[in-house]
Structure 1
Amino acid sequence: MQQGTPRPGDAGGDPAARPGRLGVGVVSGGRVGAVLGAALRGAGHAVVGVSGVSERTRERADALLPGVPLLEVPEVVRRAELVLLAVPDDVLPGLVAGVAATGGWQAGQLVVHTAGIHGVGVLAPARAAGAIPLAVHPAMTFTGTSLDLARLVDCPFAVTAPGPVLPVAQALVVEMGGEPVVVAEEDRATYHAALSHGANHVVTLVAQARELLAAAGVADPGRALAPLLHAALDGALRAGDDALTGPVARGDVGTLAAHRAALAEHARRTGSDDVPAVHRALARATADRALARGRLGADAVARLLAVLAEPAPGAGPGAGPAGPGDDAV
């Protein structure tokens, strides 16, 4: 963001008095839609309607968008100068096509979706009716509460739009407090895969680590993991593969074999193979990345991969010297 760019709520008078304020319709009032609708309202735009039928949607709208009427989707679209489509990725194409089939899109209307995987191609039926297509995806998880509004400040938003209207999408992101990052149409799937792989799968990894610590008798797994995981995440964000530590990065074959045996026993007790399967896949990927970056030689990686082969070996000393370094964990 450029220096001096005003934030929502900054000094400078009533936000609603700023030029270019729009009537915003939110489809639907889920966690993302309600929060982004509230952020746009805080920037001075008028939220003219929100769709949603569940009791939770009604409660969320009352909390984040008080006074905004709950309407059917066609009426939200009819009233809005800017339609915010905050629906699941797979729902979006059918919704856009359905509104187009009923003649609902309006010429000059801004149609903004928040689906990470889609660019503006999915909005082609709206664009054919003269609407202006914008794709804006916040790289953030949402609780659907007012706490999310503070988390939007400096949050990266992937922005995709036709060149002439790209500044409009960027301006909307800035008004919501975010940092616009331009992502090309053809790169949206890769962009979204990166976020999902990093954010969603780290939750799975942490949950699995908590499960193993609990099985080992640790009373508070979250507290035991927190310092290590915070340090590991910080190192990975700053240094990427240079932050690799642990037995695979060191080439400690014996330790890896003992880990595999322990995880196989855990799987036998729990009746679930998900932990050893994920461990095996990530250990192989770690070994490959350590080899590619010169952290380990080909012979050391071959020994590691042999230990990772099916079936899981029993615990015992492994062959071969340790790799470089003596990092913790």
Structure 2
Amino acid sequence: MQSFLDPAILFFVFGILAGSLKSNLEIPPPISRFLSLYLLMALGLKGGFSLAQSGLTADVLISLAAALAMATLVPVLGYLTLRRFLNRFDAAAIAATYGSVSAVTFITAVQYLDNHGISFGGHMAAAMALMESPAIVLAVVLANHARRTTTLSNEPVSAVSNAPLGRILHEALTDGAQLLLLGAMLIGVLTGESGQAAMKPFSVDLFKGMLAFFLLDMGLLAARNMGKLRGQSVWLLVYAIAGPLVHASIALALGSVVGMSAGNMALLMVLAASASYIAVPAVIRHAIPEANPSLYFGMSLGLTFPFNILIGIPLYVQVAQLWR
């Protein structure tokens, strides 16, 4: 209950309510874009300042390796599961969406840990960046394979050009938001304590209010995308909730094996359980045009994102603490 009394979470709930009532309340897209970039920049700086203090330790490297392992395992498991009741293109697109990560979910989790005085490593922001692209690459490879081995609309799939993996990889690795996160982290590492003191009014004092404003926008978007799932298979709805729980459980087991702290393990669980609704859908829409956007976008933003924000984050943190 305490998490629901957080102002940022309450603004998210308010956004869902306003969107469900079909209110004309909206955040202009340029402002929404600015808010997302601000949050990523502030998160990158915070991670960089933390890394400047701790250095590149064995714990940091182990955490990054665990993140990469989850970024590979989750989309593979997702594709094998979804392939049982979906065509290859939809299965690959959804697997990519759930194999990648949601930066806003991660940022909300970081704020939750800060509010509850739970320590974590700033390098987990780098883990988030590392986990964004592997699922996209895997999905494109699977879709290209599907085009060579099946037919589409009664025509040879070979008539449909394969998505060029090099171009998709370039788009995934040079995404502006991801570059901003990594660039801000590098600046934080280089400037250290002096940079932290100079940027505190920007990256710390404003952070909570900016997050609340952005979560209001996310609540509006989530409410308006829930309708896209009407009439879809019940198994998709189950996967949108059960999938993240399974992925978080795997991350919990992996984090425990490699000896991660409770805070870092909770963030790894959040990353594994989250689903991208910005970067991956934007790439997949062009790379796998055969897939239905209402499925992977509606599932990630309409169900998984609200579940993680309202229930998942407090659950993952509590379980990680109890486990450790």
Q: Confirm or deny a common fold (TM above 0.5).
A: no
* Pairwise TM-score range, normalised by the shorter structure: under 0.3
| Greater per-residue helix proportion | 2
| Greater per-residue strand proportion | 1
Return the index of the structure with the highest Cα Rg.
1
TM-score w.r.t. length of structure 2 = 0.22
Q: Which has the higher contact order (CA 8 A, sep 6+)?
A: 2
